[in-house]
Amino acid sequence: EAQVTQNPRYLITVTGKKLTVTCSQNMNHEYMSWYRQDPGLGLRQIYYSMNVEVTDKGDVPEGYKVSRKEKRNFPLILESPSPNQTSLYFCASSPGRQGPVGQYFGPGTRLTVT
Amino acid sequence: AQSVTQPDIHITVSEGASLELRCNYSYGATPYLFWYVQSPGQGLQLLLKYFSGDTLVQGIKGFEAEFKRSQSSFNLRKPSVHWSDAAEYFCAVGINDYKLSFGAGTTVTVRA
């Protein structure tokens, strides 16, 4: 089944404790993105990647890191989480050079930082 | 800078009634336009998209949307809603497939 998977789905952590949220897609997509969703703000893009080793900042990159060492994986890293990073996070992918067809979204990761 | 506005935060509609969700955008050129739906506790699912051509586009679940260049709008419609259409709907715009701007979303409640 074609899908984007994220792990973990739920995470409660404390301020300053480094964490990684994994994202993997099995559709051989070139483009991948991370978003955070907050009430009343919709989805805001954190980082995106156009291909392996090619990443760029989205609209709200502060406090986050990403890497794209393999085409299928795009982990989101919070080096020192803070309470204002409590949010619902979505990973998404899209085919890329085939032309815009819309993004496929993962199920989301709900992160709480205390 | 580009922006996407969904003027209605919450809409309540009776089952079987028609539904229209508004989306306005501000962009330098005609962008690619998308509508997504998010059911409670779920990820986002693509309903439909517009790139060029016929300004009335059909999507899944019986939804359609109309692009109006003069009004910078891309409104979503459904002639007759079902209880399963209760969800949050997001309009998104971009000039490519990897950098999208989303509206704040419209929550739809369906009453029996």
Q: What is the pLDDT of residues B38-72, one digit of tens each?
A: 998 888 999 999 988 899 999 999 999 999 999 99
Mean pLDDT across B70-92? 96
Amino acid at A95: P
What does the pLDDT read at residue A112? 98
- Smallest Cα distance from B70 to chain A, Å: 23
Contact flag B102-A44 (C-beta cutoff 8 Å) = yes
What does the pLDDT read at residue B100? 87
Instruction: Give the model confidence (pLDDT) of A36-86 as tens digits.
Output: 999 989 999 999 999 999 999 999 999 999 999 999 999 999 999 999 999
Give, for A4, the enclosing helix (H) or strand (E).
strand A4-7
- Taking the C-alpha atoms of residue B2 and residue B28, their distance in angstroms, rounded to an integer, is 7
Chosen from B44, B90, B107 to mutate, greatest number of chain A CBs within 10 A: B44
